[in-house]
């Protein structure tokens, strides 16, 4: 049984008892390890619950055409780096005790700096977090590569894509940025692929099945497109989204 101090189980305990119990806890390595494990589990469960609530609220906003965007200019490369730091910090700080497995490596080397976009910073953070966390979930511990490349329509799409099968919905002269997240996992489930960006399209026991649906609607609300396919070498999958760089008129 996991050890829990009585402060987490009773409301009538006084301050002296709290202090004594925590002194005893610090001095007992076995109980301290159990307590840390319980805190990590509680934290993770609260995160899952918060995400579920937010996903349900976002889905409701999307279906009632109430998804609001608060656009501003920002450097997309910096936003990608911030998302990577956020995910890496959470993975390092909240690993299960006695689990020495290192967090999945996320590789990002900006090819153009800066890439300024006019978009909702928090919503793009949400899309990036969703795609990276999905990639981690199915990467089998292999490194993940993320890229952000300026392009014009079908030119310059990330390695691993069959360019002939991708249609980015802009005129040839419109400059866009394409962000791609490449993993080396098992690829996209054949059963899921046709409905990948619809609600509840998941076989994972850890997700809500709403993340990609929400990401699709966020990107499309920005005038962009999101898509995915297995890598041409047969190892893993690539999820990408595009945004037009000149968005002041949208």
**C-alpha distance from residue 170 to each of 52, 111, 165, 174 (Å):** 34, 22, 15, 6
Cα 234 off chain centre by: 23
174 vs 175 pLDDT, higher one: 175
Q: Give the pLDDT confidence score for residue 209 in this predicted structure.
A: 78
Tokens linked to 37: 């494990």
pLDDT greater than 90 at residue 216:
yes
Asked whether residue 233 carries a pLDDT value surpassing 50, the answer given is yes
The pLDDT-based confidence of 163 (bands split at 50, 70, 90) is: very low
Write out the CATH class of domain 71-244.
alpha beta
Express each pLDDT in 109-151 by its tens digit. 887 788 999 999 999 999 999 999 999 988 888 999 999 999 8
DSSP string, 114-170: --EEEEEHHHHHHHHHHHHHHHHHHSTT--EEEEEEEEETTTTPPTT--GGG---SS
How much is the mean pLDDT over the chain? 79
* pLDDT reported for residue 170: 47
Q: Where in the chain is the domain with CATH 3.30.565.10?
A: 71-244
Output 9 or 80, whichever has higher pLDDT: 80
Measured N-to-C along each axis, helices 211-221 and 29-63 cross at an angle, to the nearest 10 degrees, of: 50
Per-residue confidence (pLDDT) for residue 146, from 0 to 100: 96
């Amino acid at each position: 049984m996991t050890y829990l101090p009585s402060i987490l189980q009773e409301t009538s305990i006084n301050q002296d008892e709290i202090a004594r119990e925590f002194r005893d806890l610090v001095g007992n390595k076995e109980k301290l390890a159990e307590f840390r494990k319980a805190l990590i589990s509680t934290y993770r469960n609260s995160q899952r619950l918060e995400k579920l609530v937010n996903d349900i609220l976002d889905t409701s906003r999307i279906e009632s055409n109430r998804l609001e965007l608060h656009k501003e200019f920002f450097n997309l490369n910096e936003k990608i780096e911030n998302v990577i730091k956020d995910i890496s910090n959470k993975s390092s700080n909240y690993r299960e005790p006695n689990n020495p497995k290192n967090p999945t490596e996320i590789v990002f080397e900006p090819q153009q700096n800066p890439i300024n976009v006019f978009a909702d910073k928090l919503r793009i953070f949400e899309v990036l977090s969703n795609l990276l966390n999905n990639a981690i979930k199915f990467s089998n511990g292999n490194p993940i590569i993320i890229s952000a490349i300026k392009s014009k329509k079908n030119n310059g799409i990330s390695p691993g894509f069959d360019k002939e099968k991708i249609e980015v919905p802009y005129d040839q002269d419109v400059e866009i940025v394409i962000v791609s997240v490449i993993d080396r996992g098992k690829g996209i489930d054949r059963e899921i692929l046709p409905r990948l960006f619809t609600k509840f399209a998941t076989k994972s026991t850890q997700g809500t099945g709403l993340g990609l649906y929400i990401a699709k609607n966020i990107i499309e609300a920005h005038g962009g497109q999101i898509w995915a396919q297995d890598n041409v070498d047969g190892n893993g999958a690539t999820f990408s989204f595009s945004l037009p760089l000149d968005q002041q008129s949208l």
